[in-house]
Structure 1
Amino acid sequence: MTSRLFSSVLDVATLGKFPRIQKWVWRRIYNMLSRFWGDKDWRFMNYGYVPSGAPFALKPEDEAERAFIGLYQQAVEGLAVKGARVLEIGSGRGGGSRYIARYHAPASVTGLDYSPETVRRAQKLNADTPALSFVQGDAENLPFPDAAFDIVVNIESSHCYGDVPAFAREVARVLKPGGIFTFADMRPKSQLGLLDDQLAAPGLELIDKRNISPNVVAALNAAEARKQARIGKAFLLRRFMSEFSGSKGSVLYKALKGGSVVYQARRYRKA
């Protein structure tokens, strides 16, 4: 029953039949999860990424989060992050913004999230990191001036938005000329063409596009034991969390592994 219900919710969400309702529901889901789990053991809210080549360097205290950090490492790898002004849209509990701030020496990192409870949780969990701040705001109407950032990061968040083209226009507005927008998220294979159109905001030039589904599935496998240990503590939410987190056997796990859902990483440059 839980799997069928979750599948139906995903179908409505990805097809965008009720975009404003979808946005409202996601906000409340993340508010609920932030209240339910308040400790540092769950600083990331993504499916993860395991690189195909050699592993990247991490401090010993961050090794437990390697699979989830990988999605951010691939997003900024090779970019001129040092001294840059970085914005993460959909920053969740702040683990990704914290990683960029601690490992890549930007001038500043600002994390923005739509869920007020999640922003409060991110501020508390990451208060020890200099040059890092979090604000509540809407991805479709960013509270920042034009050309305010050198790099905009968006990881596994856009599928929650009610108006993706408006989001892309806002990204183009807040990026400085020559700035980079680095994006990663999943879509049904049949909707990749639609995603092309949605992110084709004036001024944004697509410079790289990759299917990273195998790397994401590898990360889901690597995190399975830890994930199940965590889910086992949530008796009332156990079945929902198994689906939500992409555990083995879940709707999304099977879709990503089978190819009916594709996880893409993209980069755009502001003209």
Structure 2
Amino acid sequence: MSSRLFSSVLDIATPGRFPRTQKWIWRRVYNLLSLFWKDGDWRFMNYGYVGDGAVFPLRPEDEKERAFIGLYQQAVDGLLVEGARVLEVGSGRGGGARYIARYFAPAAVTGLDYSPETVRRARTLNADTPTLTFEQGDAEKMPFADASFDIVVNIESSHCYGDVEAFAREVARVLKPGGWFTFADMRPKSQLSTLDSQLAAPGLECIASSNISANVVAALDSAEARKRERIGRAWFLKQFMAEFSGAKGSMLYKGLKGGSVVYVARRYRKTS
């Protein structure tokens, strides 16, 4: 029953099919998750990334989140974050923005999310990080002035947007010249060329692109036991939560492992 329900939701929410309905559905899904998933030690909602290179250092209290933090580490690795003004669009429960704020010494990090309940949850979970703030707003019409940020981060969020082209134009608008836009998300393999054109906003030059599906599957595998333990406490719609979280055997897990769904990471530079 829950698998069929998730399949129906996923079909309606496929990027580009029903843009307004898509945004409406995802906003309410994340509102509900924030209302009912109140775990104080669970700041991440992404699928994660396990790399092939050297292990990056983490404080002991952050080790349990290593797989999820990995998506943010690969997103900003090599960028000049120290002293920068950073915006994360689609910041969720705030774990990624908190990691950047605590480990890379930026001047300030702002998290923007469309879900009011998720913003409230993020503020509560991350109140210990003074350089970090969260605002509610639309990725397709951001409440920030032109050239406000040095770096824009967007992790596993764009598939929820009704108009990805509008989002890319907004990224180009709020970035300073020479600034960086670092992006990671999944798409059905058949939609990758569409994603290319959607993100090709004037002023954004694609510098690097990679398929990180195998790294994401490795992260899903590493987090499986902890995820299943938490899902086991959710008496309501356990199977729906398993599908949503990419647990082993779920539609999205099978798609990523089999190649019908591709997880990409990209970096763009603001040229003018």
Which interval holds the TM-score relative to the shorter structure?
over 0.9
Partner of 1:164: 164
C-alpha displacement of 1:10: 2.0
| Aligned partner of residue 264 in structure 1, secondary structure | strand
Instruction: Return 4-13 or 189-198, whichever deviates more.
Output: 4-13
1:17 matches 2:8: no
Contact conserved, 1:30 with 1:118, CA < 8 A, in 2? yes
Write the distance in 1 (CA, Å) between the matches of 2:244 and 2:103: 29
Corresponding residue for 2:153? 153
User: Secondary structure, in 3 states, of the residue corresponding to 1:9?
Assistant: helix
The letter for the 1-side match of 2:197 is D
1:47 aligned partner: 47
- Count of aligned pairs: 271
Q: Which amino acid aligns with 1:188?
A: P
CA distance in 2, matches of 1:12, 1:18: 7
The match for 1:262 is 262
The TM-score normalised by the length of structure 1 is: 0.98
Q: Counterparts of 1:66-85 in structure 2 under 5 Å?
A: 66-85=66-85
SS at match of 2:217: helix
Q: CA RMSD in A?
A: 0.8
Report the CA distance shift for 1:98/1:187 in structure 2 as closer, same or farther (over 3 A): same
Question: What displacement does 1:54 show?
Answer: 1.8
Task: Extract structure 1 runs of 4+ deviating beyond 6 A.
Answer: none
Q: 2:217 aligned with 1:220, yes or no?
A: no
**2:246 is aligned with what amino acid?**
G
TM-score normalised by the chain length of structure 2: 0.98
In the other structure, the counterpart of 2:127 is 127
Between the aligned partners of 1:110 and 1:233, the Cα distance in structure 2 is 32
How far apart are residue 13 of structure 1 and its match? 2.1
Unaligned runs of 5+ in 1: none
Distance (whole Å) between structure 1 residues aligned to residue 24 and residue 33 of structure 2: 15
Matched residues in 2 for 1:234 and 1:194: separation? 36
Q: Which residue of 2 aligns with 1:247?
A: 247
Q: Which deviations, in whole Å up to 9, do the C-alpha atoms of 1:35-68 show, x marking residues without a partner?
A: 1022322210100000111211100000000000
Indicate if the aligned counterparts of 1:46 and 1:68 stay in contact, CA closer than 8 A.
Answer: yes
Greater mean deviation of Cα atoms: 17-26 or 149-158: 17-26
**Are positions 1:194 and 2:198 aligned together?**
no
Asked whether the 8 Å contact 2:14–2:22 carries over to 1, the reply is no
- Contact 2:13–2:25 under 8 Å retained in 1: no
- Which string of whole-angstrom CA distances, capped at 9 and with x for unpartnered residues, describes residues 14-37 of structure 1? 242211011011101101110102
Rounded Cα–Cα distance in structure 2 between residues aligned with 1:183 and 1:260: 20
Q: Distance in 2 between matches of 1:134 and 1:267?
A: 23
Structure 1 contact 14–188 (Cα < 8 Å) conserved: no
- What is the CA–CA distance in structure 1 between the aligned matches of 2:34 and 2:44, rounded to whole Å? 11
Tell which deviates more after alignment, 14-23 or 161-170.
14-23
Shift of the alpha carbon at 1:12? Answer: 2.9
SS across alignment from 1:41: coil
Report the 3-state secondary structure (helix = DSSP H, G, I; strand = E; otherwise coil) of the residue aligned with 1:218: helix
Checking the alignment, whether the CA contact within 8 Å between 1:147 and 1:176 is kept in structure 2 is yes
**Does structure 2 conserve the Cα–Cα contact (< 8 Å) formed by 1:14 and 1:187?**
no
Tell me the secondary structure at the aligned position of residue 41 of structure 2: helix
